[in-house]
Amino acid sequence: MVNVGCHVSIQRGYLQAAKMAFQIGASSFQYFPKNPRNLTIKSFNLHEAEACARFCEEKGLLSMGHAPYPLNLAVEEDLSDIMLQAILNGLDITDACGSVGLVVHFGKYRGKDPLQGYKNIIYLLNKALRQWHGKACILLENQAGEGTRMGTTLEELVKIRNLSDYPDKIGFCLDTCHAFASGLWTGDNWNEVQQKGTELGYFDHLKAVHLNDSMYASGSRRDRHSCIGKGHIGEAPIKQLLRSSVVKGLPVVLETPSQGGSHQSEIAYVQSLLD
Ligand SMILES: [Zn+2]
């Protein structure tokens, strides 16, 4: 079994976000710990966040935070301080909310030497995790390949984790739309993806799944999420992935366009694929 859920708003606080997820039949959820559009630091209500953690514990809900969009691990060292503070703030909040971790995009390097981009990512991860002693992990998310090829392969993700000084504080979040759009997953090759990921040690550290269908074909490198069963991936490959042993027990969270303001029926549909 997996824990199916969706992305929810924290407009009314972390506890309410968890309650809202529970109410619509989710057994997991994702939220933005703070405004996703900027890197400002949020001072949050610790008691409220801890109440969220208690509620989730009671109800068996799993959760994860998603880092703000401008967070980029691959920036040059002189720009990395603002990124560092944003990572630590995100980890603080997700930890207090009892979440598995903070989902962070792999990053976009704008310079000429791609190797330097990878070095920047490792530098920033080391700098952040040296100061981090909570339970929440960094969850590196695979990318669709839009604008940059970086972060689209399992090899890169595993390599970054292995080369960092704190691999135990780093896990992975597999986005199914991104895996499909990048060409890593074609819809027909899940067994190969599973075998390769297992050999590399990727699946040992997979902590979360973003379950999205794709509006564009495999290999298109376009990052546009579609509702489950309504995109180019389709129902059968999603069903195969959901029933795979490597995702067992994980939070599987929809980041699909919500129909009528709620993901309730889509969660029920995804759960029906598991029966
Ligand atoms: Zn995602």
pLDDT string in tens for the chain (275-residue length): 899 999 999 999 999 999 999 999 999 999 999 999 999 999 999 999 999 999 999 999 999 999 999 999 999 887 889 999 999 999 999 999 999 999 999 889 988 898 999 999 999 999 999 999 999 999 999 999 998 899 999 999 999 999 999 999 999 999 999 999 999 999 999 999 999 999 999 999 999 999 999 999 999 999 999 999 999 999 999 999 999 999 999 999 999 998 777 899 999 999 999 98
Burial 6-36 (b: 16+ CB within 10 A, else e): bbbebeeebbbbbbbbbebbbbbbbbbbbee
Tell me, what's the pLDDT at 210? 98
Ligand 1 centre to CA of 171 (Å) is 14
Compute the distance from residue 15 Cα to the ligand 1 centre, in Å: 22
CA of 174 to the centre of ligand 1 (A): 8
**28 alpha carbon – ligand 1 mean position (Å):** 15
Alpha carbon of 135 to ligand 1 centroid (Å)? 22
CA of 176 to the centre of ligand 1 (A): 8
- CA 66 / ligand 1 centre spacing (Å): 9
Residue-level pLDDT at 131: 96
Q: What spacing in Å lies between the alpha carbon of 219 and ligand 1's midpoint?
A: 17
Check residue 80 and give its pLDDT.
Answer: 86
pLDDT at 107: 86
At which residue do the structure tokens 């801890």 appear? Answer: 50
Q: How far, in Å, from the CA of 256 to the mean position of ligand 1?
A: 9
- Whole-angstrom distance, CA of residue 16 vs CA of residue 52: 8
Buried b / exposed e across 99-115, counting CB within 10 Å, b at 16+?
Answer: bbbbbbbbbbbeeeeee
pLDDT of residue 209: 98
CA of 147 to the centre of ligand 1 (A): 16
